[in-house]
Amino acid sequence: TVNKGSGLLDFAEDMKELGPDIFIVNEDGHSPEKEKLCKELGIEYKVLKRIPHANLPARSTTSLRAIKPMPYRIDLAGTWIDQPYVSKYYPGAAITASLEPTIEFNERSGMATSTRKKAIELWNDHLPLEKPEKLAKTLFRYDNDPGTTEVSGSQDSIGITMPGINKFFYDKGKYWPSRFETISDLKTIKWLEDRLYMLTLWPRPDGYNVLSDTCINTENVKKLADAAELAWEGLINMDFEKFTDGFLNSFRSQVRMFPKMMNPEIQKIIDQYHDKAKAWKLSGAGGGGYLILISEKEIPNAFRIKIRVKDFWI
């Protein structure tokens, strides 16, 4: 059966006609919009945990249909610094992590899906057996055709191809970082996985242009760079207070430079988690996508990520 509507709530009209008593989703399919719709229609809304049987890996509904092993990336702090029109004011680092494709992330949602599509186009479903930084450079070049006016930042290519959690430093006005630091320690990776939760919002709307209103200057870019350094220090020391301070200050710095990342609808959802999470940010360029939450307490109905670890031979 094909739903009548479109988008994340493409089933809304069918639901109104059918009038079910209960609407059930898995954690990775939960969103505040679905919950709100059910509340408006007087339908009981249930979110089920995915508990794999006998050591089998947890899989999302979508991934059971067709899983592509190509990784995703999640941006953690400092991103936007990979754009020369930002770093020209002040140098700094970005932090990303490469993710196992345990779910299929929505497009236009800040998870580098367009760059990932280019990677699949270039290499099919798997990354080649090659040094990660070389793969990152190859993908970055392939992702940006000659004459491209809006260059896709290198953090997407790096985040997809380089395993673990990576911090990479951009000198003033440069497209490619001058140095890398990597966390491949399993204890640290598990520490972050245990504290990071994600909530599905909605894809960025058509016509969304985060660059239509900006406030990029030396002071604001320095705040972004300083926040990324603090987040990294917190990560390598597994210091929750430092990491969350850096994580949240990085997001606030991003919004300070790119106010269109936020809107009242997103703020309402963030407000619901002030007492549950210590820090939060939007994935990618904001405007929707995913809300990333950091908490030492379990956040109900949010889903988790799995960071891709370094291959033994690299």
Integer CA distances (angstroms), 196 to 74, 120, 243, 299, in order: 11, 27, 12, 9
Q: Which of 74, 126, 110 is nearest to 311 (CA)?
A: 126
Please, which residues bridge with residue 196 across strands? 294
- For 72, other C-beta atoms within 10 Å of its C-beta total 23
159: enclosing H helix or E strand: helix 154-161
- What's the CA dihedral at 210, 91, 193, 111 to 10 degrees? 30
Type of residue found at 124: N
Indicate if the pLDDT at residue 66 is higher than 60: no
Query: Measured on CA atoms in the order 130, 131, 135, 137, is the torsion positive or negative?
Result: negative
The pLDDT score that the predictor gives to residue 138 is 98
Indicate if the pLDDT at residue 50 is higher than 70: no
Please, which residues bridge with residue 169 across strands? 93, 179
The pLDDT score that the predictor gives to residue 105 is 96
Tell me which of 39 and 96 has the higher pLDDT: 96
- The phi-psi region of residue 238 (left if phi > 0; otherwise alpha if psi is between -120 and 50; otherwise beta) is left
pLDDT per residue as tens digits for the range 169-184: 999 999 999 999 999 9
Indicate if the pLDDT at residue 18 is higher than 90: no
Identify whether the C-beta of residue 76 lies closer than 8 Å to the C-beta of residue 208: no
pLDDT per residue as tens digits for the range 251-297: 999 999 999 999 999 999 999 999 999 999 999 999 999 999 999 99
pLDDT band at 1 (very low <50, low <70, confident <90, very high): low
> Which structural domains are found in the chain, ordered by start?
12-49 (no CATH), 65-294 (3.30.70.890)
Would you give the end-to-end CA distance of the chain in angstroms?
46
Indicate if the pLDDT at residue 135 is higher than 70: yes
pLDDT band at 65 (very low <50, low <70, confident <90, very high): very low
Mean pLDDT of the chain: 91
pLDDT per residue as tens digits for the range 140-161: 999 998 888 888 999 999 999 9
User: How far from the centroid of its chain's Cα atoms is residue 63's Cα?
Assistant: 17
Angle between helix axes 132-143 and 154-161 (nearest 10 degrees) is: 140
Name the token pair of 199: 């909530």
The pLDDT score that the predictor gives to residue 5 is 62
> Percent of the chain at pLDDT above 90?
74
Q: Is 66 in a helix, a strand, or coil?
A: coil
Got the DSSP string for 149-211? SSPPPHHHHHHHHS-SEEEEEE-TT-SS-SEEEEE--HHHHHHHHTTEEEEE--PPPTT--GG
Q: Is 233 exposed, middle or buried (0-12, 13-18, 19+ CB in 10 A)?
A: middle
State pTM to two decimals: 0.84
Q: Is 96 in a helix, a strand, or coil?
A: strand
Rounded Cα–Cα distance for residues 191 and 198 (Å): 16
- What's the CA dihedral at 196, 157, 148, 228 to 10 degrees? 50
pLDDT band at 312 (very low <50, low <70, confident <90, very high): low
